[in-house]
């Protein structure tokens, strides 16, 4: 299998708290990996270190052929990262503008993505006129408009109601199946993890260790009906067991 992200003997502490101590892990190209674990288990910290936002204390990591133009990161506080002075269209267009793409190309990309998301935005309106769920979809469209090869998502659905949550998962799955990016998805929700991911990695409490790696063989695309199957429940249960271990360590 083709590894795209490698982490070797990573070290990281905040003041007196050791988050990572000789932590190693690999992520496969074109796969969706969910990272699941107790609060404060260094899930977000790992993404931040890999994205270059937070410096490591030691060890090594590599994202093969890393290029910030083909990398996207959707933060937990997505609402704060949308720009209220730009209308909805210009918010989605921003990453392409940064890449100095032509207006026609931007138009084409956004239309393409909009078709996939089945979502009709009034492009001339502003993000603050949208509901929380719509803002979240806008933030996702902004992150996906560049067709990133590597995508980090931190707690994407935590602020959404269940209906919007399911809707967004459906769009994402469609997008993932079409474009096959490498995705690292940090989540607090087992159902989300099992619904979307090819592989679920369960983290322990600090200092972080990998408690278990669970392969998710549930066939794609996964619909609402897949959530009701025995197979789904089985995988969900094994994640839960691993989680149980992680909080009793």
Partner 1 sequence: MKKYAIIGPFILIIVWAVISRCQLVDAFFLPGPITTISKLLELIKSGVIIDDLVSTLGRVGLSFVIALIIGLPLGLILGMSEKIYRSVEFIIDFFRSTPATALFPLFLLIFGVTDKSKIAVAAFASTIIIIFNTAYGVMHAKKSRILAAKIMGANRAQIFYWILFWESLPQTFIGLRSAISLSLVIVIVTEMFIGTPFGLGKMINDSQIIYEISTMYAIILLVGAIGYLLNLLLILIEGKTIHWRGR
> Between residues 37 and 156, which has the closer beta carbon with respect to partner 1?
156
> Between residues 85 and 162, which has the closer beta carbon with respect to partner 1?
85
Helix (H) or strand (E) segment spanning residue 2: none
Minimum CB–partner distance for residue 139 and partner 1 (Å) = 9
Q: Which two tokens stand for residue 69?
A: 């133009």
Phi, psi of 236 (to 5 degrees): -60, -40
The Cα–Cα gap between 138 and 198 comes to 25
Cis peptide before 67 (omega within 30 of 0): no
> Between residues 53 and 224, which has the closer beta carbon with respect to partner 1?
53
Which long-range CB contacts under 8 A does 47-52 form with residues at least 24 apart? Answer: 47/73, 47/152, 47/154, 47/184, 47/186, 49/10, 49/12, 50/5, 50/7, 50/152, 50/184, 51/152
Name which position in 95, 144, 149, 214 contacts partner 1 (CB under 8 A): 95
**Which residues in the 18-77 window bind partner 1 by CB under 8 A?**
51, 53, 67-69, 71-73, 75, 77
- Determine if 84 is a binding residue for partner 1 (CB under 8 A): yes
Minimum CB–partner distance for residue 141 and partner 1 (Å) = 13
> Between residues 78 and 117, which has the closer beta carbon with respect to partner 1?
78
> Between residues 14 and 69, which has the closer beta carbon with respect to partner 1?
69
Name which position in 6, 24, 81, 205 contacts partner 1 (CB under 8 A): 81
Name which position in 22, 58, 83, 132 contacts partner 1 (CB under 8 A): 83
Both ends of the chain: CA-CA distance in Å? 31
**Neighbour-count burial of 55, counting CB atoms closer than 10 A to its CB (0-12 exposed, 13-18 middle, 19+ buried):** exposed
**Which residues in the 110-169 window bind partner 1 by CB under 8 A?**
126, 128, 146
Q: Which two tokens stand for residue 51?
A: 């994205």
* Segment lying near partner 1 (by CB under 8 A), choices 2-10, 97-105, 156-164, 183-191: 97-105
- Determine if 175 is a binding residue for partner 1 (CB under 8 A): no
The tally of CA atoms less than 13 A away on the side-chain side of residue 188 is 12
Binding site for partner 1 (CB under 8 A): 51, 53, 67-69, 71-73, 75, 77, 80-81, 83-85, 94-95, 97-99, 126, 128, 146
């Amino acid at each position: 299998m083709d590894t795209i992200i490698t982490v070797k003997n990573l070290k990281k502490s905040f003041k007196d708290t050791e988050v990572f101590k000789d932590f190693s892990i690999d992520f496969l190209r074109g796969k969706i990996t969910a990272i699941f674990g107790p609060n404060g288990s260094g899930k977000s910290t790992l993404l931040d270190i890999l994205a270059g936002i937070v410096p490591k204390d030691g060890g090594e990591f590599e994202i093969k052929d890393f290029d910030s133009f083909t990398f996207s990161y959707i933060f937990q506080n997505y609402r704060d990262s949308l720009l209220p002075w730009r209308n909805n269209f210009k918010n989605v267009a921003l990453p392409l503008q940064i890449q100095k793409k032509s207006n026609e190309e931007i138009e084409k990309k956004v239309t393409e993505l909009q078709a996939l998301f089945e979502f009709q935005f009034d492009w001339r309106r502003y993000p603050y006129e949208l509901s929380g769920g719509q803002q979240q979809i806008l933030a996702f469209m902004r992150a996906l408009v560049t067709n990133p090869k590597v995508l980090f998502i931190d707690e994407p659905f935590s602020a959404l109601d269940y209906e919007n949550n399911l809707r967004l998962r459906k769009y994402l799955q469609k997008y993932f199946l079409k474009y096959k990016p490498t995705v690292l998805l940090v989540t607090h929700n087992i159902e989300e993890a099992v619904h979307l991911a090819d592989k679920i990695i369960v983290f322990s409490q600090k200092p972080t260790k990998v408690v278990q790696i669970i392969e998710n063989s549930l066939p794609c695309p996964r619909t609402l009906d897949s959530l009701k199957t025995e197979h789904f429940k089985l995988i969900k249960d094994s994640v839960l067991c691993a989680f149980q271990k992680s909080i009793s360590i």
